[in-house]
Structure 1
Amino acid sequence: MATISDVARAAGVSRQTVSNALNAAHRLAPDTLARVTAAIEALGYRPDPTARSLRTGSRHAVAYPVPPDNPDRPNALMGGFLHCLVDEAGTRGFRILLTRTDRASIAEVIAARQVDGFVLSDVLSADPRLAELDAAGVPYVAFGRLGGSGGWVDVDSAAAMAEVVELLVAQGHRRVGYLGAAEDLPWMRDRRAGFLAAADRLGLTVESRPLPDALRAADRPTAIVAGDDWLGLAGYRMIGEAGLVPGRDVAVTGFNDLPLCDLVSPALTSVRIPVRLIARVLVGRLLDRLAGGPTPEHGALVAGELLVRASTPVRQG
C-alpha cells in the first residue's frame, strides 16, 4: 500500500504538505493542493484512520441513530437523506457510524468514544437523546428543529405550504380540506400551521367537517392538502369512496415527494425536501463545531420545491 512518503515524493512536496492536504486543505495554495490530490488518487493512498485518530484526537467519525422504520415499507425520504449524509461526510474525510436510536445505544457509543459527534433526525419534543448528549458534552446537529439551539436544519414548511395554497387559489379553489395525522410530530404540526396561516391570509375557507362527510356534501371542498404523500393517497381513497375522481373533481397535494408521486394516477403534486442540501449544511455545521467554532444562534431553514403534477389541474369554470 502507498504511504504518505510515497505521495510526498510523487508530488514533490514534504510529508507535512501531504498531511495539510488531508487535514487542513485551506493552508495550501490551489496548485499545490491539486498536485498532492492528483498524487493521492494516482497512488490510491488511504490514510490510516487509527494512526490519524491517535495523532489528532479525532475519530473522523459521526454517529447517526437510524430512525425506526418498517423494513417492508421503508421510508424513501430518510433513506435518501442517509445516502446524502454518508456522501457528504465522506467528502470531508468522515465516516458515518449507524446505531440504534434508543438512549442506551447512544450512551454505549459515547462511552466507547467511537465518534466525534452525532447527527440526529426525527427529533421530538423533550427528546431524551438530547439530554444524553448534552450531559456527555458531545456535539450534535439535527435534521429538524431544536428548541434553544441553532444546531439544526429543516425544510421551511410554512413557506412550502404557502406555495401550495397560492397554487390552489390561482387555480380557482376557495374551499379546501386539510388531511393530517400524528399532530404530536413536530414536522406535522409545522405543516398544518403553515397551511392554516396561508389559507387565512389568502381568504380560503378551510373545511371543518370530517372529510368523508364533506366530500359527499353539495358544498364540498374542491381540493385537499395532505401533510405527507401517504396521506395524499388516503385522500385519493376518500375521494373515490365519495364517487368522485381525484384530480378531476377534487385536487390533491402531498408533501415529501416520495417516488410514489410519479407512479400513482393522477401523479401527485408534492413538495420535495432538498435532502442533499440539508445533509451538506448539517455536516458543515457539525464539523465547524468540532473545529472549535460556536454553535450558530439560529437554525437554518431551506426551501422546499413544489412539483406540480396532474392531481392539481386548473379548474374549469
Structure 2
Amino acid sequence: MPEGPRRSRSGAATIEEVARAAGVSRQTVSNALNAPHRVRAETLERVSTVIRELGYQPDQSARSLRSGARRTIGYLAPVDDPLDPNPLMAGFLEALVDAAGEHGRRVLLFRPARGEADPTAAIDELVAARQVDGLVLADVLTDDPRIAHVARLGIPFAAFGRTGPGQPQHWADIANDAATAGVVRHLAERGHRRIGYLGAAEELPWMAARRAGFLAETGRLGLSAAPLPLPDPTAPAASAEAVRALLRGPDRPTAFATGSDLLALDVYEAVRAEGLAVGPGGVAVTGFYDSPLCRHLHPPLTSVRLPLRAIAAGLVARLLDQVHGGAVPTAGLELPTELVVRASSG
C-alpha cells in the first residue's frame, strides 16, 4: 500500500517537500499559493491536498519582504456604540474576516482618532506605513470624500455601497429599491391595499432607495401608499406617534413596510398602543436587515435578509484583483436579497 506524504524530520514541512510529494516544481507550489489562476485545476487540487496533509505553513514574513505584499486588508470600521452595536455591520465584519481568510489575508481594523471626523488622515497614515495591501470601505454616501481620496492615492480598494459616476466602480451592494418593491408585492399578495412606510434619513442613499422602491411599486400596483414623515432623531418617540396618528385616521393602513428592523419595533409599539394586533388578523409589519431580534419578537418579524457573505466575498475578490493587477471592473456587483417571511406579515 503506497504511503502518503511525510513531514521532514526537522519539523515543519518545507515548500520543497510539498513540491516533491506533489510531483511538481517549487514554482508551481508558489503559484498555487500566490496565483492559483495560473495553475491547472487538477494540479492545484493535488498541491492543495499535499499542503493540507503535510500541514505546510508559508513563511508570511519572508514572502512579504520579497513581494512587498502585506497580506492584510484594512477595514475602515464605521463608528459604532459598543453598548449598542449595529448587528448588520457586526455580521458584515464577521463575513469579511472569513472571506479574507479564504485568500490567506487578515483584516486590520482602523478608524480616525477620537473626535476626528475626517478619516483621510487615518487612511494616509496606514498607507504610508505600508501596513495593508488595500482597503475596504462601508456605509458609502453620495459623493463620499473617502472614495475620492483613496482613488487619488491609487491604493486598491473595494466599497460596500455604490460609488458615484466617474469614480472607480469597485463596489458590491444590494438593490435596495428592488428589495422594498419585493416587500410591497409580498404584502399585496396577502390582500393589503393600503400600506404605510416608515423609513429613516434620506441623506443615506440606501434609505432613499428603499423609500423610492416602496413608492414606485405601490404606484405600479395601484395601491394606496402612506409614507410617513422622516423620523426626528432628537425625538425617539416621534416615529411611534406618527404611526399611531395614521392608525387613528379613517383610512388606516392594514400593513407597514419599514426601512429597518428597529423602525419595525416602533410600528409594533404603535399598533399595540392603539389596541390592535400585529400579524394575522391584525396589522402586517415588515422590517429590513433580518437582524437576530427578528426571530425573537412576538410575532416573529418578516424581514429582508442581506447576503453578507456574498457581499464580503465579492469585495475581497475585487480588491485582490486590483492587488494582482487584474482587469478593472466597469460596473459594480449587485447581489439579490431574500425576504424571510415570518408571522408578522400575516
Does the alignment reach a TM-score above 0.5?
Answer: yes
Q: 2:158 aligns with which of 131, 138, 141?
A: 141
Work out the CA distance in 1 between the residues paired with 2:42 and 2:327: 31
**1:57-85 CA distance string (max 9 Å, x none):** 32222111111112122222211211111
Pair 1:46-2:78 in alignment: no
Q: 1:152 aligns with which of 171, 174, 184?
A: 171
Aligned to 1:78: 89
Structure 1: runs of 5+ lacking an equivalent: none
AA matched with 1:189: A
Work out the CA distance in 1 between the residues paired with 2:42 and 2:147: 43
Q: What is the correspondence of 1:160-309 to structure 2 with a 5 Å cutoff?
A: 160-207=179-226, 210-247=242-279, 248-309=281-342
CA RMSD between the two structures: 1.7
CA contact (8 A) 1:107 1:132 kept: no
Work out the CA distance in 2 between the residues paired with 1:206 and 1:232: 17
Give, in angstroms, the shift of residue 9 of structure 1. 3.1
> What TM-score, normalized to structure 1?
0.93
CA contact (8 A) 1:269 1:309 kept: yes
CA contact (8 A) 2:197 2:258 kept: yes
**1:78-134 CA distance string (max 9 Å, x none):** 112111111111112222111115332222111101111111111122323223312
Work out the CA distance in 2 between the residues paired with 1:208 and 1:305: 23
Question: Residue 68 of structure 1: SS of its match in structure 2?
Answer: coil
Aligned to 1:36: 47
**1:214-249 CA distance string (max 9 Å, x none):** 111232111111001010111101111222111242
Aligned to 1:108: 125
Name which of structure 1's ranges 58-67 and 23-32 shifts more when overlaid on structure 2: 23-32
Aligned to 2:136: 119
Work out the CA distance in 2 between the residues paired with 1:26 and 1:179: 47
Question: Residue 119 of structure 1: SS of its match in structure 2?
Answer: strand
> What TM-score, normalized to structure 2?
0.86
Give, in angstroms, the shift of residue 208 of structure 1. 5.3
AA matched with 2:306: I
Aligned to 2:19: 8
CA contact (8 A) 2:100 2:107 kept: yes
Q: Percent identity?
A: 55
Question: Residue 311 of structure 1: SS of its match in structure 2?
Answer: helix
Work out the CA distance in 2 between the residues paired with 1:223 and 1:238: 13
Work out the CA distance in 1 between the residues paired with 2:172 and 2:287: 21
CA contact (8 A) 1:66 1:100 kept: yes
CA contact (8 A) 1:64 1:119 kept: yes
Tell me: CA distance 1:258–1:281, structure 2 relative to 1, closer, same or farther (3 Å).
Answer: same
Tell me: CA distance 1:257–1:113, structure 2 relative to 1, closer, same or farther (3 Å).
Answer: same
Structure 2: runs of 5+ lacking an equivalent: 1-11, 113-118, 229-241
AA matched with 2:75: Y
Give, in angstroms, the shift of residue 291 of structure 1. 2.0
Work out the CA distance in 1 between the residues paired with 2:179 and 2:147: 28
Question: Residue 255 of structure 1: SS of its match in structure 2?
Answer: strand
Work out the CA distance in 2 between the residues paired with 1:16 and 1:194: 52
Question: Residue 207 of structure 1: SS of its match in structure 2?
Answer: strand
Tell me: CA distance 1:305–1:243, structure 2 relative to 1, closer, same or farther (3 Å).
Answer: same
AA matched with 2:335: V
AA matched with 2:264: G
Question: Residue 248 of structure 2: SS of its match in structure 1?
Answer: coil
Q: 2:78 aligns with which of 63, 67, 76?
A: 67
CA contact (8 A) 2:95 2:312 kept: yes
